[in-house]
Structure 1
Amino acid sequence: MLAAFCLLLIAALVLNRSFWQELQQKAVPWPVAGASVCALALLWQTDATVLDALSIHFLALTSLVLVFGLRISALLFVLVIALQWLMSDRPLEQWLWTLACGWLVLALNYLIYLLCFHYLQRHLFVYLFVCAFLNSALGLMVYMLLQAWIHADHYSTEQLYQGYLIFIPLAALPEALLNGMAMTLLVIYKPQWVYTFYQRIYLSDK
Protein backbone atom coordinates (compact mmCIF):
# COMPACT_ATOMS: atom_id res chain seq x y z
CA MET A 1 0.00 0.00 0.00
CA LEU A 2 2.84 2.39 0.80
CA ALA A 3 4.50 1.70 -2.56
CA ALA A 4 1.21 2.32 -4.38
CA PHE A 5 0.68 5.54 -2.44
CA CYS A 6 4.16 6.81 -3.33
CA LEU A 7 3.69 5.90 -7.00
CA LEU A 8 0.37 7.74 -7.07
CA LEU A 9 2.01 10.84 -5.61
CA ILE A 10 4.80 10.68 -8.18
CA ALA A 11 2.25 10.26 -10.98
CA ALA A 12 0.25 13.21 -9.69
CA LEU A 13 3.39 15.33 -9.83
CA VAL A 14 4.75 14.14 -13.15
CA LEU A 15 1.56 13.65 -15.17
CA ASN A 16 0.11 17.02 -14.22
CA ARG A 17 -0.02 19.08 -17.44
CA SER A 18 0.14 22.37 -15.58
CA PHE A 19 3.37 21.24 -13.93
CA TRP A 20 5.12 20.69 -17.26
CA GLN A 21 3.78 23.98 -18.61
CA GLU A 22 5.08 25.74 -15.53
CA LEU A 23 8.39 23.89 -15.79
CA GLN A 24 8.99 25.17 -19.32
CA GLN A 25 8.70 28.74 -18.07
CA LYS A 26 11.18 28.30 -15.20
CA ALA A 27 14.88 28.89 -15.57
CA VAL A 28 15.73 25.68 -13.71
CA PRO A 29 19.50 25.23 -13.44
CA TRP A 30 19.53 21.56 -14.43
CA PRO A 31 23.29 21.06 -13.90
CA VAL A 32 22.75 22.47 -10.41
CA ALA A 33 19.83 20.09 -9.95
CA GLY A 34 21.99 17.11 -10.90
CA ALA A 35 24.80 18.26 -8.63
CA SER A 36 22.30 18.74 -5.79
CA VAL A 37 21.00 15.19 -6.16
CA CYS A 38 24.54 13.77 -6.05
CA ALA A 39 25.50 15.98 -3.09
CA LEU A 40 22.41 14.98 -1.11
CA ALA A 41 22.98 11.30 -1.87
CA LEU A 42 26.53 11.55 -0.53
CA LEU A 43 25.40 13.63 2.44
CA TRP A 44 22.83 11.02 3.42
CA GLN A 45 25.54 8.37 3.28
CA THR A 46 27.52 10.12 6.03
CA ASP A 47 25.31 9.03 8.88
CA ALA A 48 25.77 7.89 12.45
CA THR A 49 23.85 4.75 13.35
CA VAL A 50 22.54 4.95 16.90
CA LEU A 51 20.10 2.04 16.73
CA ASP A 52 20.02 -0.85 14.27
CA ALA A 53 17.41 0.70 11.98
CA LEU A 54 17.81 4.35 12.95
CA SER A 55 20.58 6.75 12.06
CA ILE A 56 21.28 10.48 12.27
CA HIS A 57 22.47 12.49 9.28
CA PHE A 58 22.08 15.85 7.60
CA LEU A 59 18.92 16.28 5.53
CA ALA A 60 19.49 19.53 3.57
CA LEU A 61 15.87 19.26 2.42
CA THR A 62 15.13 22.86 3.38
CA SER A 63 17.78 24.15 0.99
CA LEU A 64 16.44 21.82 -1.70
CA VAL A 65 12.87 23.10 -1.48
CA LEU A 66 13.92 26.74 -1.22
CA VAL A 67 16.12 26.45 -4.31
CA PHE A 68 13.80 24.42 -6.54
CA GLY A 69 10.30 24.83 -5.16
CA LEU A 70 8.06 22.09 -3.80
CA ARG A 71 7.25 19.97 -6.83
CA ILE A 72 10.68 19.90 -8.45
CA SER A 73 12.35 19.24 -5.09
CA ALA A 74 9.94 16.35 -4.50
CA LEU A 75 10.99 14.80 -7.82
CA LEU A 76 14.67 15.39 -7.13
CA PHE A 77 14.28 13.73 -3.74
CA VAL A 78 12.96 10.62 -5.50
CA LEU A 79 16.29 10.45 -7.36
CA VAL A 80 18.17 10.89 -4.08
CA ILE A 81 16.30 7.97 -2.51
CA ALA A 82 16.82 5.86 -5.65
CA LEU A 83 20.58 6.41 -5.38
CA GLN A 84 20.47 5.58 -1.68
CA TRP A 85 18.61 2.35 -2.44
CA LEU A 86 21.19 1.36 -5.06
CA MET A 87 24.10 2.07 -2.70
CA SER A 88 22.71 0.22 0.34
CA ASP A 89 21.41 -3.20 1.32
CA ARG A 90 18.34 -1.92 3.15
CA PRO A 91 14.98 -3.22 1.88
CA LEU A 92 12.96 -1.09 -0.51
CA GLU A 93 10.13 -0.75 2.03
CA GLN A 94 12.37 1.22 4.39
CA TRP A 95 13.40 3.58 1.61
CA LEU A 96 9.75 4.13 0.68
CA TRP A 97 9.09 5.14 4.29
CA THR A 98 12.07 7.47 4.10
CA LEU A 99 10.72 8.93 0.86
CA ALA A 100 7.33 9.58 2.47
CA CYS A 101 8.95 11.20 5.52
CA GLY A 102 11.16 13.37 3.32
CA TRP A 103 8.16 14.53 1.29
CA LEU A 104 6.38 15.51 4.50
CA VAL A 105 9.42 17.53 5.57
CA LEU A 106 9.59 19.22 2.16
CA ALA A 107 5.91 20.12 2.36
CA LEU A 108 6.31 21.44 5.91
CA ASN A 109 9.35 23.54 4.97
CA TYR A 110 7.56 25.00 1.96
CA LEU A 111 4.45 25.75 4.02
CA ILE A 112 6.54 27.64 6.58
CA TYR A 113 8.19 29.57 3.75
CA LEU A 114 4.77 30.56 2.40
CA LEU A 115 3.57 31.62 5.86
CA CYS A 116 6.71 33.74 6.32
CA PHE A 117 6.31 35.27 2.88
CA HIS A 118 2.71 36.29 3.47
CA TYR A 119 2.68 37.15 7.18
CA LEU A 120 6.19 38.30 8.11
CA GLN A 121 8.20 41.24 6.89
CA ARG A 122 9.84 40.44 3.55
CA HIS A 123 13.39 41.04 4.61
CA LEU A 124 16.62 39.22 3.82
CA PHE A 125 17.23 38.44 7.50
CA VAL A 126 13.76 36.91 7.85
CA TYR A 127 14.34 34.76 4.78
CA LEU A 128 17.71 33.45 5.96
CA PHE A 129 17.01 33.11 9.67
CA VAL A 130 13.40 31.90 9.65
CA CYS A 131 12.90 30.25 6.24
CA ALA A 132 16.33 28.62 6.13
CA PHE A 133 17.86 28.39 9.62
CA LEU A 134 14.90 27.75 11.94
CA ASN A 135 12.89 25.99 9.25
CA SER A 136 15.59 23.38 8.69
CA ALA A 137 15.94 22.69 12.42
CA LEU A 138 12.18 22.12 12.63
CA GLY A 139 12.29 19.88 9.58
CA LEU A 140 14.97 17.67 11.09
CA MET A 141 13.05 17.42 14.35
CA VAL A 142 9.88 16.34 12.50
CA TYR A 143 11.85 13.86 10.38
CA MET A 144 13.42 12.19 13.43
CA LEU A 145 10.05 12.04 15.21
CA LEU A 146 8.50 10.38 12.16
CA GLN A 147 11.34 7.86 11.99
CA ALA A 148 10.89 7.08 15.69
CA TRP A 149 7.14 6.65 15.21
CA ILE A 150 7.69 4.26 12.29
CA HIS A 151 10.02 2.07 14.37
CA ALA A 152 7.92 2.22 17.53
CA ASP A 153 7.01 -1.46 17.11
CA HIS A 154 10.66 -2.52 17.24
CA TYR A 155 11.84 -0.44 20.20
CA SER A 156 10.38 0.64 23.49
CA THR A 157 9.68 4.29 24.26
CA GLU A 158 12.67 4.35 26.61
CA GLN A 159 14.97 2.90 23.92
CA LEU A 160 13.80 5.40 21.33
CA TYR A 161 14.26 8.31 23.69
CA GLN A 162 17.63 7.31 25.14
CA GLY A 163 19.09 5.98 21.90
CA TYR A 164 17.62 8.33 19.26
CA LEU A 165 15.32 11.18 20.22
CA ILE A 166 17.72 12.56 22.81
CA PHE A 167 20.02 13.55 19.92
CA ILE A 168 17.47 15.89 18.30
CA PRO A 169 18.88 19.10 19.90
CA LEU A 170 22.44 18.05 19.02
CA ALA A 171 21.52 17.33 15.39
CA ALA A 172 19.18 20.30 14.86
CA LEU A 173 21.83 23.01 15.30
CA PRO A 174 24.31 21.63 12.70
CA GLU A 175 21.41 21.06 10.32
CA ALA A 176 20.28 24.66 10.77
CA LEU A 177 23.83 25.96 10.28
CA LEU A 178 24.34 23.88 7.13
CA ASN A 179 21.15 25.10 5.48
CA GLY A 180 21.55 28.65 6.73
CA MET A 181 25.09 28.96 5.37
CA ALA A 182 24.19 27.27 2.07
CA MET A 183 21.25 29.61 1.45
CA THR A 184 23.30 32.65 2.51
CA LEU A 185 25.96 31.84 -0.09
CA LEU A 186 23.36 31.13 -2.76
CA VAL A 187 21.33 34.33 -2.31
CA ILE A 188 24.53 36.40 -2.28
CA TYR A 189 26.39 34.87 -5.22
CA LYS A 190 23.71 33.03 -7.26
CA PRO A 191 20.28 34.45 -6.36
CA GLN A 192 18.97 33.54 -9.83
CA TRP A 193 19.27 29.87 -8.87
CA VAL A 194 16.94 30.22 -5.87
CA TYR A 195 13.32 29.77 -6.86
CA THR A 196 11.88 31.23 -3.65
CA PHE A 197 14.12 34.30 -3.46
CA TYR A 198 12.99 37.54 -5.09
CA GLN A 199 15.72 40.19 -5.13
CA ARG A 200 13.38 43.08 -5.84
CA ILE A 201 11.37 42.15 -2.74
CA TYR A 202 13.93 40.96 -0.19
CA LEU A 203 16.58 43.53 -1.14
CA SER A 204 14.20 46.46 -1.47
CA ASP A 205 14.89 49.62 0.52
CA LYS A 206 11.23 49.91 1.49
Structure 2
Amino acid sequence: MNITADLFPPIWYWSFDIAFALLLLLATNFLEWNVLRVDRELQHRFGLSLVILVLIWSMRAGVSTGLGIHFFLVTTLHLVFGWQLAMYAVALAMVGMVWIGKESWQGIGINGFVSGVVPILCTYSLWRIQRKSRLNSPFAFIFLVAFLGAIVSVVASGILMTAIFLGAGVYDLEHIVSQFWIYVPLIALPEAILNGIFITGMIVFRPEWVKLFDQKKYFN
Protein backbone atom coordinates (compact mmCIF):
# COMPACT_ATOMS: atom_id res chain seq x y z
CA MET A 1 0.00 0.00 0.00
CA ASN A 2 1.21 3.49 -0.68
CA ILE A 3 -0.01 7.04 -0.22
CA THR A 4 0.92 10.10 -2.26
CA ALA A 5 2.29 12.63 0.23
CA ASP A 6 1.26 15.59 -1.93
CA LEU A 7 -2.36 15.05 -0.89
CA PHE A 8 -1.60 16.07 2.69
CA PRO A 9 -0.59 19.28 4.45
CA PRO A 10 3.16 19.40 5.21
CA ILE A 11 2.57 18.88 8.95
CA TRP A 12 1.22 15.41 8.19
CA TYR A 13 4.05 13.99 6.12
CA TRP A 14 6.77 15.77 8.09
CA SER A 15 5.39 14.29 11.33
CA PHE A 16 5.55 10.80 9.85
CA ASP A 17 9.03 11.48 8.44
CA ILE A 18 10.32 12.49 11.87
CA ALA A 19 8.65 9.55 13.62
CA PHE A 20 10.04 7.12 11.03
CA ALA A 21 13.53 8.59 11.40
CA LEU A 22 13.34 8.17 15.19
CA LEU A 23 12.33 4.52 14.81
CA LEU A 24 15.22 4.01 12.42
CA LEU A 25 17.58 5.47 15.02
CA LEU A 26 16.11 3.06 17.57
CA ALA A 27 16.74 0.16 15.21
CA THR A 28 20.31 1.41 14.72
CA ASN A 29 20.88 1.27 18.47
CA PHE A 30 19.80 -2.39 18.68
CA LEU A 31 21.30 -3.61 15.42
CA GLU A 32 24.08 -6.19 15.70
CA TRP A 33 26.58 -4.29 13.59
CA ASN A 34 29.48 -6.64 14.36
CA VAL A 35 27.55 -9.60 12.95
CA LEU A 36 26.47 -7.66 9.87
CA ARG A 37 30.02 -6.50 9.15
CA VAL A 38 31.61 -9.96 9.19
CA ASP A 39 28.78 -12.15 7.85
CA ARG A 40 29.14 -11.89 4.07
CA GLU A 41 26.32 -14.35 3.46
CA LEU A 42 23.99 -12.20 5.56
CA GLN A 43 25.04 -9.13 3.57
CA HIS A 44 24.28 -10.89 0.29
CA ARG A 45 20.89 -12.11 1.48
CA PHE A 46 20.02 -8.65 2.75
CA GLY A 47 21.07 -7.03 -0.53
CA LEU A 48 19.08 -9.53 -2.59
CA SER A 49 16.06 -8.98 -0.35
CA LEU A 50 16.28 -5.24 -0.97
CA VAL A 51 16.26 -5.73 -4.73
CA ILE A 52 13.25 -8.06 -4.51
CA LEU A 53 11.43 -5.66 -2.18
CA VAL A 54 11.87 -2.70 -4.52
CA LEU A 55 10.68 -4.79 -7.47
CA ILE A 56 7.61 -6.01 -5.59
CA TRP A 57 6.74 -2.56 -4.28
CA SER A 58 7.13 -1.01 -7.72
CA MET A 59 4.47 -3.37 -9.09
CA ARG A 60 1.51 -1.55 -7.60
CA ALA A 61 -2.06 -0.96 -8.63
CA GLY A 62 -3.61 2.48 -8.30
CA VAL A 63 -7.11 2.19 -6.86
CA SER A 64 -7.78 5.92 -6.41
CA THR A 65 -5.97 9.24 -6.72
CA GLY A 66 -2.99 9.12 -4.38
CA LEU A 67 -3.79 5.61 -3.18
CA GLY A 68 -2.22 2.38 -4.39
CA ILE A 69 -1.86 -1.22 -3.26
CA HIS A 70 1.05 -3.64 -3.48
CA PHE A 71 2.40 -6.67 -1.65
CA PHE A 72 4.49 -6.05 1.49
CA LEU A 73 6.63 -9.14 2.14
CA VAL A 74 7.72 -7.37 5.34
CA THR A 75 6.55 -10.29 7.47
CA THR A 76 9.16 -12.48 5.79
CA LEU A 77 11.82 -9.78 6.16
CA HIS A 78 11.10 -9.46 9.85
CA LEU A 79 11.20 -13.19 10.52
CA VAL A 80 14.40 -13.64 8.52
CA PHE A 81 16.40 -10.61 9.66
CA GLY A 82 14.77 -9.39 12.87
CA TRP A 83 12.93 -6.10 13.31
CA GLN A 84 16.09 -3.97 13.23
CA LEU A 85 17.29 -5.03 9.79
CA ALA A 86 13.69 -5.19 8.58
CA MET A 87 13.35 -1.50 9.47
CA TYR A 88 16.49 -0.74 7.49
CA ALA A 89 15.23 -2.80 4.57
CA VAL A 90 12.00 -0.79 4.53
CA ALA A 91 13.89 2.52 4.71
CA LEU A 92 16.35 1.57 1.96
CA ALA A 93 13.55 0.19 -0.21
CA MET A 94 11.72 3.50 0.17
CA VAL A 95 14.86 5.32 -0.96
CA GLY A 96 15.01 2.95 -3.92
CA MET A 97 11.40 3.77 -4.75
CA VAL A 98 12.26 7.46 -4.73
CA TRP A 99 15.28 6.82 -6.92
CA ILE A 100 13.21 5.05 -9.60
CA GLY A 101 10.55 7.76 -9.45
CA LYS A 102 7.80 5.78 -7.74
CA GLU A 103 7.78 7.83 -4.52
CA SER A 104 8.63 11.32 -3.31
CA TRP A 105 11.09 12.11 -0.54
CA GLN A 106 8.26 13.58 1.54
CA GLY A 107 6.37 10.30 1.41
CA ILE A 108 9.11 8.10 2.88
CA GLY A 109 7.85 8.42 6.45
CA ILE A 110 4.14 8.02 5.84
CA ASN A 111 4.62 5.09 3.47
CA GLY A 112 7.32 3.65 5.71
CA PHE A 113 4.74 3.43 8.47
CA VAL A 114 2.00 1.97 6.28
CA SER A 115 4.16 -0.55 4.42
CA GLY A 116 6.82 -1.23 7.03
CA VAL A 117 6.34 -0.22 10.65
CA VAL A 118 2.80 -1.55 11.00
CA PRO A 119 3.58 -4.97 9.41
CA ILE A 120 6.68 -5.27 11.60
CA LEU A 121 4.68 -4.50 14.74
CA CYS A 122 1.95 -6.97 13.78
CA THR A 123 4.40 -9.75 12.98
CA TYR A 124 6.41 -9.13 16.13
CA SER A 125 3.27 -9.20 18.28
CA LEU A 126 2.07 -12.50 16.82
CA TRP A 127 5.56 -13.97 17.11
CA ARG A 128 5.65 -13.04 20.81
CA ILE A 129 2.21 -14.56 21.38
CA GLN A 130 3.13 -17.76 19.57
CA ARG A 131 6.49 -17.96 21.36
CA LYS A 132 4.80 -17.80 24.78
CA SER A 133 2.17 -20.37 23.82
CA ARG A 134 2.53 -24.14 23.97
CA LEU A 135 2.31 -24.44 20.20
CA ASN A 136 5.92 -25.37 19.53
CA SER A 137 5.67 -26.99 16.12
CA PRO A 138 7.05 -25.48 12.90
CA PHE A 139 3.50 -25.49 11.54
CA ALA A 140 2.39 -23.13 14.32
CA PHE A 141 5.22 -20.77 13.42
CA ILE A 142 4.34 -20.88 9.74
CA PHE A 143 0.58 -20.48 10.05
CA LEU A 144 0.25 -18.29 13.14
CA VAL A 145 3.20 -15.99 12.54
CA ALA A 146 3.99 -16.00 8.82
CA PHE A 147 0.55 -16.65 7.31
CA LEU A 148 -1.71 -14.96 9.86
CA GLY A 149 0.87 -12.26 10.51
CA ALA A 150 0.75 -11.24 6.86
CA ILE A 151 -3.05 -11.02 6.88
CA VAL A 152 -3.13 -8.98 10.08
CA SER A 153 -0.43 -6.71 8.66
CA VAL A 154 -2.48 -5.90 5.56
CA VAL A 155 -5.62 -5.19 7.58
CA ALA A 156 -3.79 -3.10 10.19
CA SER A 157 -2.01 -1.09 7.50
CA GLY A 158 -5.35 -0.51 5.81
CA ILE A 159 -6.79 0.77 9.08
CA LEU A 160 -3.87 3.17 9.51
CA MET A 161 -4.24 4.35 5.93
CA THR A 162 -7.95 4.92 6.47
CA ALA A 163 -7.28 6.89 9.66
CA ILE A 164 -4.74 9.07 7.85
CA PHE A 165 -7.10 9.90 5.00
CA LEU A 166 -10.00 10.59 7.34
CA GLY A 167 -7.89 12.60 9.77
CA ALA A 168 -6.50 14.79 7.02
CA GLY A 169 -9.91 15.16 5.41
CA VAL A 170 -8.65 13.89 2.06
CA TYR A 171 -11.36 11.27 1.51
CA ASP A 172 -14.55 10.36 3.33
CA LEU A 173 -15.23 6.87 4.67
CA GLU A 174 -17.60 5.93 1.85
CA HIS A 175 -14.98 6.70 -0.77
CA ILE A 176 -12.28 4.77 1.11
CA VAL A 177 -14.49 1.71 1.54
CA SER A 178 -15.63 1.68 -2.08
CA GLN A 179 -12.23 2.44 -3.60
CA PHE A 180 -9.89 0.65 -1.21
CA TRP A 181 -11.37 -1.81 1.28
CA ILE A 182 -13.07 -3.89 -1.40
CA TYR A 183 -9.55 -4.78 -2.59
CA VAL A 184 -8.11 -5.65 0.83
CA PRO A 185 -9.24 -9.33 0.76
CA LEU A 186 -7.78 -9.63 -2.73
CA ILE A 187 -4.33 -8.65 -1.48
CA ALA A 188 -4.43 -10.04 2.08
CA LEU A 189 -4.76 -13.72 1.11
CA PRO A 190 -2.07 -13.70 -1.61
CA GLU A 191 0.18 -11.75 0.77
CA ALA A 192 -0.29 -14.46 3.38
CA ILE A 193 0.33 -17.24 0.86
CA LEU A 194 3.53 -15.61 -0.43
CA ASN A 195 4.96 -15.10 3.04
CA GLY A 196 3.90 -18.60 4.06
CA ILE A 197 5.62 -20.12 1.02
CA PHE A 198 8.84 -18.18 1.55
CA ILE A 199 9.07 -19.01 5.26
CA THR A 200 8.12 -22.66 4.70
CA GLY A 201 10.79 -23.04 2.05
CA MET A 202 13.48 -21.51 4.23
CA ILE A 203 12.48 -23.54 7.30
CA VAL A 204 12.69 -26.75 5.26
CA PHE A 205 15.92 -26.03 3.39
CA ARG A 206 17.66 -23.20 5.28
CA PRO A 207 16.19 -22.88 8.80
CA GLU A 208 19.28 -21.00 9.96
CA TRP A 209 18.28 -18.15 7.65
CA VAL A 210 15.11 -17.44 9.65
CA LYS A 211 16.43 -15.51 12.64
CA LEU A 212 13.23 -15.69 14.69
CA PHE A 213 12.82 -19.43 14.12
CA ASP A 214 14.28 -21.29 17.11
CA GLN A 215 15.34 -24.67 15.70
CA LYS A 216 15.91 -26.17 19.15
CA LYS A 217 12.40 -25.24 20.24
CA TYR A 218 10.50 -26.22 17.11
CA PHE A 219 12.43 -29.33 16.01
CA ASN A 220 12.79 -31.03 19.42
Q: TM-score of the superposition, structure 2-length normalised?
A: 0.85
Distance, in Å, in 2 between the alignment partners of 1:123 and 1:130 is: 11
**C-alpha distance after superposition, 1:103-140 (max 9, x if no partner):** 12202211211110112411011011111111101101
Counterpart of 1:148 in structure 2 is 162
Distance (whole Å) between structure 2 residues aligned to residue 89 and residue 167 of structure 1: 21
Instruction: Give the secondary-structure state (helix, strand or coil) at the position aligned to 2:204.
Output: helix
CA RMSD of aligned residues (A): 2.0
Q: Give me the identity figure in percent.
A: 25
User: Which residue type is aligned with residue 71 of structure 2?
Assistant: F
One of 62, 69, 76 as aligned partner of 2:89: 76
Where 2:63 maps in the other structure, the secondary structure is: strand
* 1:5 equivalent in structure 2: 19
Question: Of 187, 198, 204, which aligns to 1:171?
Answer: 187
Distance 2:90 2:120 in 1: 9
Instruction: Write the distance in 2 (CA, Å) between the matches of 1:159 and 1:70.
Output: 34
Assess, with a 3 A threshold, how the Cα gap between structure 1 residues 182 and 26 changes in structure 2: closer, same or farther: farther
The residue number in structure 2 matching 1:139 is 153
Tell me what 1:64 maps to.
77
- Contact between 1:37 and 1:76, CA under 8 Å: does it hold in 2? yes
* Residues 25, 85 of structure 1: alpha-carbon distance in 2 compared, 3 angstrom cutoff: closer
Confirm whether residue 103 of structure 1 aligns to residue 117 of structure 2.
yes
Cα gap change, 1:68 to 1:49, in 2 (>3 Å): same
* Distance in structure 2 (CA, Å) of the matches to 1:120 and 1:170: 32
Shift in Å, 1:191? 1.0
SS at match of 1:69: helix
Selected match of 1:92 from 105, 108, 113: 105
Residue in structure 2 matched with residue 19 of structure 1 by the alignment: 31
Q: TM-score, normalised by structure 1?
A: 0.90
State the 1:199 CA deviation.
Answer: 1.9
Deviations 1:1-54 (A, max 9, x none): 33232222222322x2x5346746996711011000110110011111101111
Equivalent pair of 2:126/2:145 in contact (CA under 8 Å): yes
Stretches of structure 1 lacking an aligned partner (at least 5 in a row)? none
2:60 alignment partner in structure 1: 47
Q: How far apart are the structure 2 equivalents of 1:29 and 1:21? A: 12
Task: Decide which moves more: 146-155 or 131-140.
Answer: 146-155
How far, CA to CA, are the matches of 1:70 and 1:90 in structure 2?
23
Q: 2:135 aligns with which of 121, 132, 136?
A: 121
- The answer on 1:35 being equivalent to 2:13 is no
